[in-house]
Amino acid sequence: MQRADRIVAIGLILVSLGVAWKSTELPVGILPKEGPGGGFLPFWLSLGIAVVSLMVLIQSLVSARRDKSSASDAGVFMSREGLGDLLRVGLPGMIMILLIGIISVYFSAALFIFYCLFLVGGHNLRTSVGVSVGVPVVVYYIFEKFLIIPLPKGYAEFLFYWN
C-alpha cells in the first residue's frame, strides 16, 4: 500500500501545483472593496492539497525505510477487497457526475450521499435521508443565494424558480 500512497501523493502534488500555477492568472489576493479575487480559493486550496500530499509522501517514505519487509507492498497495488470498495463508491460517483446535467447537481448529490450512507455505510434511514437532503440544501443556499454562483440544474431547473 505504501507504493500506492507514494504514486497518489506524487500525482496530487503535481496536479495541485499545476492548479496553483494556473490560478495565478486570476487575482489571488484580497481586492479592496471586492473581497477575494477569482484565484484566491483555488490557489490556496491547491497549495494546501500539495502540502498534505507531501506529508503523506514523506510519511510513506519514512515508514518504508523503517519497515523494509512490508508484506503489503509485495507487488500488489490493490487487493481484491480494496478494488471492490473502490468500485462500490467510484462507479456510483461516476454515475452521479453523469446525472448532474440531467437531474441537477443537487439531486444527483442527494442520491449519491444517500447511497453512500445507507447502502454502503449502513447508517439508519432517518440519518441517511436527513444528511442526503440537508447537504444539497446547504450547498444550494451557499452557492445560489450567498455567493450567487449558479450550479448545474439540468432538466430540473424549473423546480428551482417556483417563487
Phi and psi dihedrals of 148, rounded to 5?
55, 50
Residue whose C-alpha is closest to residue 143's, from 90, 98, 105, 95: 105
Question: Is the pLDDT reported for residue 74 higher than 60?
Answer: no
**pTM for the whole structure:** 0.62
Measured distance CA(118)–CA(114) in Å, rounded:
6
Of 154 and 109, more confident:
109
- Asked if residue 48 lies in contact with residue 33, where contact means CB atoms within 8 angstroms, the answer is no
pLDDT given for residue 69 in this prediction:
52
Residue whose C-alpha is closest to residue 150's, from 106, 112, 114, 87: 106
pLDDT given for residue 5 in this prediction:
86
Of 57 and 146, more confident:
57
- Asked if residue 9 lies in contact with residue 53, where contact means CB atoms within 8 angstroms, the answer is yes
DSSP letter (8 states) at residue 32: T
Confidence label for 65 from pLDDT (cuts 50, 70 and 90): confident
The domain spans of the chain are 1-77, 78-163
Residue 27, Ramachandran bin (φ over 0: left; ψ between -120 and 50: alpha; else beta): beta
pLDDT given for residue 163 in this prediction:
57
Mean per-residue pLDDT over the chain, rounded? 88
Residue whose C-alpha is closest to residue 5's, from 44, 63, 51: 63
Phi and psi dihedrals of 78, rounded to 5?
-150, 135
Other beta carbons within 10 Å of 64? 15
Of 113 and 77, more confident:
113
Helix (H, G, I), strand (E, B) or coil at 71: helix
